[in-house]
Structure 1
Amino acid sequence: MPQNGTVCSSEVRIGHSLNEAESQHVASRRVMVQQCLQQHNISSSVDEVPIIAVLGSGGGERAMIGLLGSLSQLSEEKLLDCIMYLSGVSGSTCCMAAVYKESDWSIRMETVKQNIIQRLGSGKVSHSVQYNKLKKMCERDNVSVTNIWAACFVSSVVKEIEDHLLTECRDQHTNDPYPIYTVIDKHCKHNTLYKDTWFEITPDECGYSLTGAFVDSKCLGSQFVKGAKTEEHPEIDMLYLQGLCGSALADGDKIRKWISHKLQHFFKLSEEKMPTKEPKMKEGHQVLCTLLELNHHFLSGEDHRNHITKMNELLKGSSFILTCIMKFCQWDWGTTYNFLYKMKVDEVHPSILKSKTRQYEDAGLLVNSPYFSVLRKERNVDLIISLDFSDGDPFETVDKAAQICKDLQIPFPTVEHHGTHEEPKDFYVFNDNPNAPTVIHIPFFNAGNCKGEVNMWKNRYQTFQSAYNDKMISDLLEKAGLNITNTKKKLLREIEEVIKKKKEHS
Structure 2
Amino acid sequence: MSASKPQESGEVRFGHSLNKEEEFVARRSNTVLQCLQKFKIRCSQDAVPNIALLGSGGGQRAMVGLLGSLVQLDKAGLLDCILYLSGVSGSTWCMASLYQEPDWSTKLETVKDQIIKRLNGPEVRWTDTLAKLKKYYYEKDHFSLTDVWAVMLVASYVKKIDDCKLSDQWDQFSKDPLPIYTVIDKQSKQREEGDPWFEISPHEAGYSLIGAFVGTSSFGSQFKNKMKKQDEIDMLYLQGNKICWRTALECIIICNTNLQCILEETLCSCLFNVFPSKDPHSPPIDECYQVLLKLVNMNLDVLKGTDPSACDQSIRTTLTDLSGGQRQLIHQLEKLNDDKAAGKKAAKQYVMQYTVDVCNYLELKLNFWSICRCIAQWIWGRHYNFLHNMTDDAVPRALLESETRDYIDARVLLNSPYFSVLRKERDIDLIISLDFSDGDPFMTVTQTAETCKKLKIPFPEVNIPSEDVKKPKGFYVFKGKNAPTVIHIPLFNVVNSGDKIDAWRKKYGTSQVPYSAEMIAELMQVSGKNFAINRAKLLEQIRVVAEAKYFQAQARQI
TM-score under structure 2 normalisation? 0.83
Partner of 2:186: 186
Rounded to whole Å, the distance in 2 between the matches of 1:263 and 1:280 is 25
**Alpha carbons of 1:103 and 1:320: their partners in 2 closer, same or farther (altered >3 Å)?**
same
The amino acid that maps onto 1:458 is R
- 1:160-171 equivalence runs, <5 A: 160-171=160-171
Deviations 1:288-317 (A, max 9, x none): 653564476468295659365493895375
Are 1:374 and 2:421 counterparts? yes
Deviates more, 1:479-488 or 1:243-252: 243-252
The amino acid that maps onto 1:231 is K
Rounded to whole Å, the distance in 2 between the matches of 1:237 and 1:26 is 24
Selected match of 2:504 from 457, 474, 490: 457
Partner of 1:350: 397
Cα contact 2:54–2:416 (8 A) shared by 1: yes
Q: CA deviation at 1:38?
A: 1.1
Partner of 1:435: 482
Rounded to whole Å, the distance in 2 between the matches of 1:274 and 1:208 is 35
**Alpha carbons of 1:417 and 1:311: their partners in 2 closer, same or farther (altered >3 Å)?**
closer
**Alpha carbons of 1:268 and 1:375: their partners in 2 closer, same or farther (altered >3 Å)?**
same
RMSD: 2.9
**Alpha carbons of 1:269 and 1:205: their partners in 2 closer, same or farther (altered >3 Å)?**
closer
Q: CA deviation at 1:71?
A: 0.8
Cα contact 2:56–2:62 (8 A) shared by 1: yes
**Alpha carbons of 1:253 and 1:286: their partners in 2 closer, same or farther (altered >3 Å)?**
farther
Partner of 1:412: 459
Deviations 1:122-145 (A, max 9, x none): 231133322221111111111111
SS at match of 2:486: strand
Rounded to whole Å, the distance in 1 between the matches of 2:260 and 2:404 is 24
Partner of 2:449: 402
The amino acid that maps onto 1:15 is G
Partner of 2:127: 128
**Alpha carbons of 1:450 and 1:311: their partners in 2 closer, same or farther (altered >3 Å)?**
closer
Deviates more, 1:433-442 or 1:312-321: 312-321
Selected match of 1:391 from 438, 445, 465: 438
Selected match of 2:412 from 340, 343, 365: 365
Partner of 1:262: 263
Selected match of 1:246 from 243, 246, 254: 243
Q: CA deviation at 1:270?
A: 7.0
Rounded to whole Å, the distance in 2 between the matches of 1:382 and 1:274 is 51
Identity within the alignment, %: 46
**Alpha carbons of 1:453 and 1:298: their partners in 2 closer, same or farther (altered >3 Å)?**
closer
Rounded to whole Å, the distance in 1 between the matches of 2:174 and 2:394 is 33
Partner of 1:486: 533
Cα contact 1:271–1:282 (8 A) shared by 2: no
Cα contact 1:288–1:325 (8 A) shared by 2: no
Rounded to whole Å, the distance in 2 between the matches of 1:245 and 1:206 is 16
Selected match of 2:469 from 413, 421, 438: 421
Rounded to whole Å, the distance in 2 between the matches of 1:49 and 1:313 is 59
**Alpha carbons of 1:21 and 1:286: their partners in 2 closer, same or farther (altered >3 Å)?**
farther
Q: CA deviation at 1:36?
A: 0.4
Q: CA deviation at 1:211?
A: 0.7
Partner of 1:145: 145
Partner of 1:218: 217
Partner of 1:42: 41
Rounded to whole Å, the distance in 1 between the matches of 2:429 and 2:213 is 24
The amino acid that maps onto 1:83 is I
Rounded to whole Å, the distance in 2 between the matches of 1:250 and 1:322 is 23
Partner of 2:322: none
Deviations 1:175-203 (A, max 9, x none): 0000000000111111223x600000001
Rounded to whole Å, the distance in 1 between the matches of 2:381 and 2:252 is 15
The amino acid that maps onto 1:262 is L
**Alpha carbons of 1:490 and 1:233: their partners in 2 closer, same or farther (altered >3 Å)?**
same
Partner of 2:291: 290
Selected match of 1:232 from 229, 234, 247: 229
Q: CA deviation at 1:74?
A: 1.0
Deviations 1:325-369 (A, max 9, x none): 544432211011100001122232212211100001111111110
Q: CA deviation at 1:499?
A: 2.0
Moved over 6 A (4+): 270-282
Deviates more, 1:39-48 or 1:124-133: 124-133
**Alpha carbons of 1:452 and 1:379: their partners in 2 closer, same or farther (altered >3 Å)?**
same
Q: CA deviation at 1:28?
A: 1.1
Deviations 1:345-397 (A, max 9, x none): 22322122111000011111111100000000000000000011111111111
Rounded to whole Å, the distance in 1 between the matches of 2:59 and 2:103 is 25
Rounded to whole Å, the distance in 2 between the matches of 1:281 and 1:127 is 25
Rounded to whole Å, the distance in 2 between the matches of 1:320 and 1:272 is 11
Are 1:476 and 2:523 counterparts? yes
Partner of 2:103: 104
Q: CA deviation at 1:156?
A: 0.6
Q: CA deviation at 1:221?
A: 1.2
- 1:74-89 equivalence runs, <5 A: 74-89=73-88
Cα contact 2:134–2:274 (8 A) shared by 1: no
Partner of 1:62: 61
SS at match of 1:387: strand
Rounded to whole Å, the distance in 2 between the matches of 1:353 and 1:274 is 35
Cα contact 1:64–1:94 (8 A) shared by 2: yes
Partner of 2:383: 336
Q: Report the count of equivalent residues.
A: 500
Which is helix-richer, 1 or 2?
2
Rounded to whole Å, the distance in 2 between the matches of 1:469 and 1:317 is 44
Rounded to whole Å, the distance in 2 between the matches of 1:272 and 1:375 is 47
SS at match of 1:348: coil
**Alpha carbons of 1:249 and 1:443: their partners in 2 closer, same or farther (altered >3 Å)?**
farther
Q: CA deviation at 1:422?
A: 1.9
Cα contact 2:42–2:547 (8 A) shared by 1: no
**Alpha carbons of 1:440 and 1:434: their partners in 2 closer, same or farther (altered >3 Å)?**
same
Rounded to whole Å, the distance in 2 between the matches of 1:158 and 1:78 is 28
Are 1:203 and 2:202 counterparts? yes
SS at match of 1:230: strand
SS at match of 2:94: helix
SS at match of 1:391: coil
**Alpha carbons of 1:29 and 1:285: their partners in 2 closer, same or farther (altered >3 Å)?**
farther
Rounded to whole Å, the distance in 2 between the matches of 1:365 and 1:62 is 17
Are 1:71 and 2:118 counterparts? no
Cα contact 2:496–2:526 (8 A) shared by 1: yes
Question: If you compute each CA radius of gyration, which structure gives the higher value, 1 or 2?
Answer: 2
Q: CA deviation at 1:7?
A: 5.4
